């Protein structure tokens, strides 16, 4: 993935919205700006389904396509949005940002000529803080966006990168961590993320709610999902400093010990624990107060919320850990909930280094088998080695077009996982390594044990076994005899894709 793009980039804009007043201002700024025009501006209405009134959108010269998402959250809304576009690049904007009249010019300048190894271009985010006083707690939280990595307040993603990782993980229900999660997966898929020159303004939060910082603690549930997906070092991978959680845990434990000791009449222990809690809480409050405007309202709010934040943060984190781990545990047994297919010689006829969408030919019975799975509520996906990209024989855009043609002929897939690397690249995604199977399971919200991989060579079986998934080999003339023997002993063998799918539905695998 290193060849430069010589043609002018095509691009669309996706704006998820909950109906903020700033949406109309943003749309007018996009419409009146200079420079190339986007193919389409998709406005994704993510208000609850009970919101029956249409969005009040201004009349524009740009092509605007409103679509509904129904209150499923920003990750789902962005997925709905980019899947309603067909351009090479998708620029995500939040509905509360403002852009200059030159934004379109600068975006195209940022995208023009980027090599295909670049999967995303991030804007510079400006959060203008008041100059006559220190920022409030709400304003400081917004200001953190100016130094955050990969936030989708203004982030342009290459379509092939989005398709490779199947977009945003919709298990993130709020505007928190879903953008970092996407960027981590895009980078792990072999793409770079660069920072452009365009500047987008994100106004600081203006809130009259003194308890906003308490509601923000819900994000700790999303932190639990990040840890489950990427391990204990996930913060360093997204460029964040140490977590406050260890301190919050200690503060909460000291409070719990104090209360329990009082109930048991252990006054010395209660006094010591209460003193430790008071010291930790006072230090936390003092640090937050010192950074702010120090008004009486702000001081009272910081003092009260500093006492409540630690137990709330711990409770939300524990709930997230429990919920996501139970979901993984519940998914580890029982009938298959997803079937992952190798592409070439499994669901389409193999054409070496296929780059022409018109040459896509489904394998006999593939469409019927896939539809049978869909009718039974079983998710379907593709996991495919495509070293032709690394060899320079297939351009990423051609690969994307071929895969789009596969979907046209065989119906929609719930996840696409493609390894564009060569054998010598040492990546973790190329089969028989487990990377793509693991990624597909994560995208579907499942465990690999819930998945069955159907393929035609030993590498398919090896990838499934390495990830802990089940596997069925459907031999073709190029399948080696030893691969068939291995599958008979350690997996399953079926004569056709249709027979393999029948075995899955019957629970025989």
Q: With 80 as the cut, is the pLDDT of residue 1 above it?
A: no
Q: With 90 as the cut, is the pLDDT of residue 396 above it?
A: yes
3-state secondary structure of 271: helix
- Residue 21, classified by CB atoms within 10 Å of its CB into exposed (0-12), middle (13-18) or buried (19+), is exposed
125-143 per-position pLDDT tens digit: 999 999 999 999 999 989 9
Q: Rounded CA gap, 269 and 259, in Å?
A: 10
Q: What does pLDDT average to over the chain?
A: 91
pLDDT score at 23: 95
Q: Which of 344, 438, 456, 460 is catalytic?
A: 344
Confidence tier at 486 by pLDDT (50, 70, 90): confident
Q: With 60 as the cut, is the pLDDT of residue 329 above it?
A: no
Percentage of the chain modeled with pLDDT above 70: 97
Confidence tier at 322 by pLDDT (50, 70, 90): confident
pLDDT score at 291: 94
Higher pLDDT, 231 or 367: 367
Q: With 50 as the cut, is the pLDDT of residue 3 above it?
A: no
Residue with tokens 């054409």: 351
Q: Rounded CA gap, 455 and 497, in Å?
A: 9
Confidence tier at 350 by pLDDT (50, 70, 90): very high
Q: Which of 222, 342, 345, 456 is catalytic?
A: 342
143-193 per-position pLDDT tens digit: 988 888 899 999 999 998 888 777 888 889 899 999 999 998 888 888 899
> Helix count (H) and strand count (E) of the chain?
18, 13
Segment 28-39 shows an average pLDDT of 95
CA distances from 117 to 55, 193, 325, 389 (A): 38, 9, 34, 11
244-271 per-position pLDDT tens digit: 999 999 999 999 999 999 999 999 999 9
3-state secondary structure of 453: strand
Q: Rounded CA gap, 205 and 203, in Å?
A: 6
Q: With 50 as the cut, is the pLDDT of residue 30 above it?
A: yes
In degrees and rounded to multiples of 5, residue 276 shows phi and psi of -65, -45
421-476 per-position pLDDT tens digit: 988 887 889 999 899 999 999 999 988 989 999 999 999 998 998 888 999 999 99
CB 96 within 8 A of CB 203: yes
Positive or negative torsion for Cα 421, 427, 428, 430: positive
Q: Give the range among 302-311, 313-322, 331-340, 398-407 with minimum mean pLDDT.
A: 331-340
In 3D, which of 184, 179, 161, 168 has the Cα closest to residue 237?
A: 184
pLDDT score at 317: 95
Catalytic, 154? Answer no
Q: Rounded CA gap, 138 and 66, in Å?
A: 31
Q: Which residues are CB-neighbours of 116 under 8 A, at least 6 positions away?
A: 1, 2, 3, 4, 5, 158, 160, 395, 396
Q: With 90 as the cut, is the pLDDT of residue 70 above it?
A: no
pLDDT score at 207: 67
Catalytic, 169? Answer no
Confidence tier at 7 by pLDDT (50, 70, 90): confident
227-239 per-position pLDDT tens digit: 888 888 889 889 8
CB 467 within 8 A of CB 441: yes
Q: With 70 as the cut, is the pLDDT of residue 332 above it?
A: no
In 3D, which of 65, 23, 66, 69 has the Cα closest to residue 46?
A: 69
* DSSP one-letter code for 57: P
Confidence tier at 6 by pLDDT (50, 70, 90): low
pLDDT score at 449: 87
pTM for the whole thing? Answer: 0.66
Q: Which residues are CB-neighbours of 272 under 8 A, at least 6 positions away?
A: none
3-state per-residue secondary structure call for 365-403: CHHHHHHHHHHCCCEEEEEEECCCCCCCCCCHHHHHHHH
Q: Which residues are CB-neighbours of 218 under 8 A, at least 6 positions away?
A: 174, 176, 316
Q: How many residues does the chain have?
A: 509
Higher pLDDT, 384 or 505: 384
């Amino acid at each position: 993935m290193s060849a430069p793009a010589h043609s002018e980039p095509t691009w669309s804009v996706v704006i998820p919205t909950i109906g903020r007043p700033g949406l109309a201002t943003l749309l007018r700024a996009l419409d009146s700006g200079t420079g190339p025009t986007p193919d389409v501006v998709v406005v994704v209405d993510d208000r609850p389904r009970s919101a029956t009134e249409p969005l009040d959108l201004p009349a524009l010269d740009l092509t605007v396509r409103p679509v509904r998402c129904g209150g499923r959250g920003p990750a789902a809304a962005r997925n709905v949005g980019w899947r309603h576009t067909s351009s090479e690049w998708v620029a995500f904007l939040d509905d509360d940002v403002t852009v200059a009249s030159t934004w379109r010019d600068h975006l195209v300048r940022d995208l023009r000529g980027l090599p295909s190894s670049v999967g995303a271009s991030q804007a510079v985010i400006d959060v203008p803080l008041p100059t006559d006083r220190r920022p409030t707690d709400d304003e400081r939280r917004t200001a953190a966006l100016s130094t955050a990595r990969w936030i989708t307040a203004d982030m342009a993603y290459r379509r092939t990168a989005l398709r490779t990782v199947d977009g945003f993980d919709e298990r993130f229900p709020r505007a928190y961590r879903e953008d970092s999660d996407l960027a981590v997966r895009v980078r792990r898929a072999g793409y770079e993320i660069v920072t452009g020159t365009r500047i987008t303004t994100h106004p600081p939060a203006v809130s009259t709610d003194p308890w906003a910082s308490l509601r923000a603690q819900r994000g700790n549930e999303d932190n639990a999902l990040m840890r489950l997906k990427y391990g204990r070092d996930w913060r360093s991978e997204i460029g964040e400093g140490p977590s406050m959680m260890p301190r919050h845990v200690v503060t909460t434990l000291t409070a719990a010990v104090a209360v329990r000791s009082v109930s048991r009449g252990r006054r010395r222990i209660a006094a010591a624990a209460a003193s430790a809690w008071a010291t930790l809480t006072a230090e936390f409050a003092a640090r937050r107060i010192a950074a702010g405007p120090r008004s009486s309202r702000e001081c009272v709010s910081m003092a009260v919320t500093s006492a409540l934040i630690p137990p709330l943060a711990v409770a939300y984190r524990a709930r997230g850990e429990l919920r996501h781990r139970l979901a993984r545990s519940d998914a580890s047994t029982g009938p298959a909930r997803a079937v992952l297919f190798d592409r070439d010689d499994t669901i389409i006829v193999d054409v070496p280094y296929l780059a022409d969408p018109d040459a896509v030919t489904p394998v006999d019975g593939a469409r019927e088998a896939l539809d049978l799975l869909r009718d039974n509520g079983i998710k379907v996906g593709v996991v495919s080695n495509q070293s032709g990209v690394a060899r320079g024989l297939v351009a990423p855009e051609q690969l994307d077009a071929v895969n789009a043609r596969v979907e046209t002929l065989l119906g929609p897939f719930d996840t696409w996982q493609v390894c564009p690397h060569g054998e010598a690249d040492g990546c973790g995604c190329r089969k028989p390594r487990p990377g793509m199977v693991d990624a597909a399971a994560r995208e579907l919200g499942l465990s690999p044990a819930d998945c069955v991989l159907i393929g035609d060579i030993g590498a398919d079986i090896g990838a499934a076994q390495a990830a802990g998934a089940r596997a069925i080999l459907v031999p073709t003339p190029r399948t080696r005899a030893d691969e068939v023997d291995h599958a008979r002993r350690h997996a399953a063998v079926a004569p056709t894709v249709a027979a393999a799918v029948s075995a899955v539905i019957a629970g025989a695998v």
